Amino acid sequence: MKTRAAVLLALGVALVARPSRAAGFLIYDISGSAIARASAVTADDEEPAAVWFNPANLAFMGGVSASAGGVFITDKTSFSPSGGGAEINTERGNFLLPEFFANGRLTDRVALGMGAFSTFGIGISWPDDWEAGRQAAIKASLETLTLNPTVAVLVHPRVSVAAGFDAVRSVVDFTNGLPAIIGGDVRLAGGTWGYGFNVGALYKIYPGRLHVALTYRSRVALHFDDGRAHFTPANPDFAPVLPDQGGTASITLPDIITVGVMGRPRPDLALSFDANLVLWSTYDRIDINFQSAPARAIVPNGQNAFTLRAGADWTLPGRVPGLHLRGGLIYDESAIPSGNLGPGLPDANRIDVALGAGYGRGHFRGDLGYLLVVFLPADATGGTEGPVGTYNTIAHLLALTLTATWP
Amino acid sequence: MKRRRLAVALAAGFVAAAGACTPDVGSSRIPTAMQFDLTTAPPRAPQPTALIVNPQTGLIDFSLAGTPIPADCSTQTALTPAQCQFDQWLQTLDGFPSLTTASAPASGPLDRTTLTLGTNVDVFACDPKAAGGCAANGAPVTSGLAVDFDPTSNSLTVTPPGPWTLGELYWMGVRGYANGIRDTAGAPVVGSPTMALLREDSPLTCGATDPSQVKPDCAGYQVVAQGNPMPTPTAAAMQLFQLEAIRLAYLGGGGFDAMTASGLPKDELAVLWGFPIHTNSVPLLLPGTAAVPVVPAANQIVVGVQGPVDAATVSAFVAKVQSGPVVVMDLTAAAAGDLDAGFPPLGAAYLPTPGAALPGAIAIQFAAPFPAGHEIGLFFTNAIHSPDGAPLVASPVSVLLRLTAPLVDSAGHSTVSGVGDTDAAVLEAGRQALAPLFDNPIFTPLTGVTRANLVYCYAFVPTVMP
């Protein structure tokens, strides 16, 4: 029993470093089955992670089900200075993000769901001796864990709606270099809770053949009022004026509006298309205030951004019952304008390619998905949030989800 | 049952993860520092300092520290009236008084045993006008000076056994960090952000020729711009130029070279400062030290003078007979209304003393022994000159005694920085005793002594007759 608790605790602790693998620092792709079809699953009532993608789908799911899984992410970013010079590379980031979902029907018309997942995060680590960029970021980490209870109601045999509550625990941990004469760095960390809500709707125009969906997730304000800052100036002359002290900062996670459609031109093929509008304008400026040290402002000047998703799910009922073959494409628009691009969040327009498969038998099913995220070269032109140059990033996501369902 | 156990375990895992505490960012002890902050009011910086000697006029100028002294002290409230009047006097000098204790503030108590002259605290004296730079024509001062820590002001102090040499420039450096002085906890003492910038080898302004041209990525600007309170960009650029001027002054004045010549390398300097001593000769007065008059005979008193004096300008005031810059009064007799006895017949002369610590003295000879129990007052005016025609200047104590403003406040605290409460109380008693004399409508027309031209003021009561 102790071993099991330790494993669970370890899984929880593993929710630490968070990369950002959708525009901005949104991690939209969090389930093995969804990733394989580009997470275009808003209108799919078979998605285990419906609590996240569209809780209205829960009203159409029978029985009780629970799923557990994880997304392994590995990525690396490089920076090429515009004036020439050596390319700078981040440490390769390797992250494991566990996700848990459970849902069950309470009555014929009402279903409940619960999810614990991580959908926003930053995790990047640049060389400490990168002179040009260290003041903007040496290490940046933003972790979130969302606890999301939700209720779905079948308001019509073809229409369901849902609403949920989001409690978001977030921990930030940033290390930035101090000006050259001072040297050394400052590490600022803090944790807080933020709260929001989400709603969703699913309309089965032709049940099983054509569905449309609409979801909305509210913004979540995270006020880090109890942050701690630890200054380690390399030049000791600055140590007396840069003591360890408290700090505050606020970050607002963006609203997300999603529309989706799923159609089955053939019984064995589901095609789906989703579009997300993420209101990254909430992420326009972060003021970091210290008790005595000078305040610092990060100005990402976030812009609202679209993401377009297309996915396909092909089954082989005649040959391998229970097998799903999946694929998808994503175009993800950068949330940070080039003039505000910095090493803490080297955002870019992205093109993602998804592949995967799933297999179910009896009460159990397993889904495996892979996503190749190709960041298009992103020019940082401003010079205020970091050095001028070009960022290049490649990321790979591999997700496995195991689901158990009881009628 | 199994489902319930699984659910509970899952919930426990979520709670464990969700309750993740803020990462421990670590902590570090704040080291004790030698302070050098010109942005506070008043500046927390070593004193005295050449930084407030105006290179154009050659005189002390407090406006260089951002605290200009008005011509009329009643028009300001930033300083006490006494401090304002005292600073007005300082601004008439081309250097600091020779009876000055040098001090450098610290952020915490220092271990006195580590304040070792010649190793951790280096003093270098030179003639600032000599060719070749300070380091080439000066020498370290490795003995005689008393280095101590004053817990009242949290300052390291350097006190000479006698007056500093007139016209000399003194550089003082304190060795900090691993090889230098320690605080009372035994930890190394560090410098200040200002000192870090002053130690820079290249211009702080990154080549900008005026503050408006300073680029935001200039390393020095980035440091100054993050000051607390955070200055505006314009103010930060101005501060940067001020610091660069100081850096150049330190380089031009040979401060770093002087310390290197003393064995204190630049990178171990926690604080460095320099100050010139004024060039004018001065009749010395510092009660409680050797700098007080001596009475070698029953009718003679001798006042030591630092610096040369033109003997022809030394003469005694004799009532109804001759005017002169050396005025001696029997204050007891004068107070009793006997003006004849109040201005007894006397003579005054300059007595050179070659080879002595002081080059000379003004000797005052009464025709008869001092009347026992009477209070005798001595007053010199600036009509006494040195051979080059420069008038004598007052010592600080004489100046404090002639001020019109009180030297202690209603709570008994000194109103003049650098003067302790106890000393201020004693001086205030003397000031109050002398004030009626300076305000007497007859005294000035009769003797020619005014508050403005007074360079020496002393009173004594001869009680033991030889």
Q: Where do the DSSP E strands lie in B64-209? A: 102-105, 121-126, 139-141, 146-150, 155-159, 169-175
* Core vs surface per residue A10-45: b (16+ CB within 10 A) or e: ebbeebbbbbbbbbbbbbbbbbbbbbbbbbbbbbbb
Q: Which of A116-120, A160-164, A366-370, B365-369 has the lowest mean pLDDT?
A: B365-369
Put simply, the chain A residues between 115 and 174 with a CB less than 8 A from any chain B CB are: 116, 135, 143, 145, 147, 167, 169, 171, 173
The strand pair at A286-290 and A269-278 is best described as unpaired
pLDDT in the model for residue A20:
54
* B140 pLDDT higher than 60: yes
Chain A residues lying within 8 Å of B28, measured CB to CB: 230-232, 239, 244
pLDDT level of residue A17 (50, 70, 90 thresholds): very low
Put simply, whether A5 touches B (Cβ < 8 Å) is yes
* A14 pLDDT higher than 50: no
**3-state SS assignment for residue B331:** helix
- Nearest chain B Cα to A224, which residue? B22
Mean pLDDT on B394-420: 92
Quote the percentage of chain A above a pLDDT of 70. Answer: 94
Handedness of CA B130, B131, B135, B138 (dihedral sign): negative
* A13 pLDDT higher than 60: no
> What's chain B's average pLDDT?
88
pLDDT, tens digit, 9 for 90 and up, residues B33-49: 999 988 887 788 999 99
Q: How many CB pairs under 8 A join A and B?
A: 138
The strand pair at A305-316 and A320-332 is best described as antiparallel
pLDDT, tens digit, 9 for 90 and up, residues B253-297: 899 999 999 999 999 999 999 999 999 999 988 777 777 788 888
B232 token code pair: 């505006």
- Which of A180, A188, A294 is closest, CB to CB, to B230? A294
pLDDT level of residue A11 (50, 70, 90 thresholds): very low
As beta bridge partners, residue B435 has none
Put simply, the chain A residues between 232 and 271 with a CB less than 8 A from any chain B CB are: 232, 235-241, 243-244
Backbone dihedral angles phi then psi of residue B462, each to the nearest 5 degrees: -70, 120
pLDDT in the model for residue B12:
52
Interchain CB distance below 8 Å, A240 and B192:
yes
Q: Which of A93-97, A113-117, B133-137, B241-245 has the lowest mean pLDDT?
A: B133-137
* B465 pLDDT higher than 90: no
pLDDT in the model for residue B17:
52
Q: Closest approach of chain A CAs to the CA of B32, in angstroms?
A: 7
* A310 pLDDT higher than 50: yes
pLDDT in the model for residue B463:
66
The tokens 């809500």 sit on which residue?
Answer: A197
Interchain CB distance below 8 Å, A230 and B10:
no
- Nearest chain A Cα to B216, which residue? A384
Cα–Cα distance measured from residue B259 to residue B138, given in angstroms and rounded to the nearest whole number: 11
Is A260:A212 a contact under the CB 8 Å cutoff?
Answer: yes
pLDDT in the model for residue A69:
95
* A209 pLDDT higher than 80: yes
Q: Which of A23-27, A239-243, A323-327 has the lowest mean pLDDT?
A: A23-27
Q: CB neighbours of B338 closer than 8 A, spacing ≥ 6? A: none
Please choose, from the candidates A377, A380, A371, the residue with its C-alpha nearest in 3D space to the C-alpha of residue A399.
A371
Mean pLDDT on B361-379: 88
Put simply, whether A226 touches B (Cβ < 8 Å) is yes
Chain A residues lying within 8 Å of B187, measured CB to CB: none
Mean pLDDT on A337-364: 94
- Which of A179, A240, A292 is closest, CB to CB, to B107? A240
Cα–Cα distance measured from residue B361 to residue B347, given in angstroms and rounded to the nearest whole number: 14
* B419 pLDDT higher than 50: yes
- Which of B25, B107, B220 is closest, CB to CB, to A189? B25
pTM of the shown model = 0.81
DSSP code for A336: S
pLDDT in the model for residue B368:
86
pLDDT, tens digit, 9 for 90 and up, residues A47-103: 989 999 999 999 999 889 999 999 999 999 999 999 888 999 999 999 999 999 999
* A128 pLDDT higher than 70: yes
Between B2-18 and A2-13, two packed helices, what is the crossing angle to 10 degrees? 40
| Furthest C-alpha separation in chain B | 123
* A281 pLDDT higher than 90: yes
pLDDT, tens digit, 9 for 90 and up, residues A144-189: 999 999 999 999 999 999 999 999 999 999 999 998 889 999 999 9
pLDDT level of residue A6 (50, 70, 90 thresholds): very low
* A382 pLDDT higher than 60: yes
The tokens 């001062």 sit on which residue?
Answer: B141
pLDDT in the model for residue B387:
94
Put simply, whether B310 touches A (Cβ < 8 Å) is no
User: Could you tell me if residue B263 is left (phi over 0), alpha (psi between -120 and 50 degrees) or otherwise beta?
Assistant: left
pLDDT, tens digit, 9 for 90 and up, residues B5-29: 545 554 555 555 545 567 888 888 9
Q: Closest approach of chain A CAs to the CA of B119, in angstroms?
A: 20
* B3 pLDDT higher than 70: no
Q: Closest approach of chain A CAs to the CA of B135, in angstroms?
A: 26
Is A193:A210 a contact under the CB 8 Å cutoff?
Answer: no
* B133 pLDDT higher than 90: no
- Nearest chain A Cα to B10, which residue? A8
Query: In 10 A of CB B345, how many CB atoms?
Result: 14
Please choose, from the candidates B252, B241, B178, B191, the residue with its C-alpha nearest in 3D space to the C-alpha of residue B214.
B241
B298 token code pair: 């029953």
pLDDT, tens digit, 9 for 90 and up, residues B306-346: 999 999 999 999 888 888 999 999 989 888 888 888 888 88
* B209 pLDDT higher than 80: yes
pLDDT in the model for residue B8:
52
**3-state SS assignment for residue B435:** helix
pLDDT, tens digit, 9 for 90 and up, residues A282-309: 999 998 888 888 788 889 999 999 999 9
**3-state SS assignment for residue A316:** strand
Cα–Cα distance measured from residue B212 to residue B221, given in angstroms and rounded to the nearest whole number: 12
pLDDT in the model for residue A131:
86
Chain A residues lying within 8 Å of B191, measured CB to CB: 236-237
Peptide bond before residue B203 is cis, with ω within 30 degrees of 0: no
Put simply, whether A292 touches B (Cβ < 8 Å) is yes
Put simply, the chain A residues between 322 and 341 with a CB less than 8 A from any chain B CB are: none
Mean pLDDT on B114-131: 93
Quote the percentage of chain B above a pLDDT of 90. Answer: 55
pLDDT in the model for residue A153:
98
User: Could you tell me if residue A27 is left (phi over 0), alpha (psi between -120 and 50 degrees) or otherwise beta?
Assistant: beta
Handedness of CA B87, B93, B97, B103 (dihedral sign): positive
Mean pLDDT on B68-75: 91
| Alpha helices for B119-274 (secondary structure H) | 134-137, 193-198, 219-225, 233-252, 255-261
Chain A residues lying within 8 Å of B233, measured CB to CB: none
Mutate to test the interface with B, among A237, A248, A291 (most CBs of B within 10 A): A237
- HSE of B121 in the Cβ direction (CA atoms, 13 Å)? 25
pLDDT level of residue A7 (50, 70, 90 thresholds): very low
A306 token code pair: 């679209």
Q: Closest approach of chain B CAs to the CA of A358, in angstroms?
A: 24
Q: Give counts: helices (H), strands (E), chain B.
A: 12, 15
Interchain CB distance below 8 Å, A102 and B227:
no
Q: Tell me which amino acid residue B303 is.
A: V
- Nearest chain B Cα to A234, which residue? B196
As beta bridge partners, residue B304 has B361
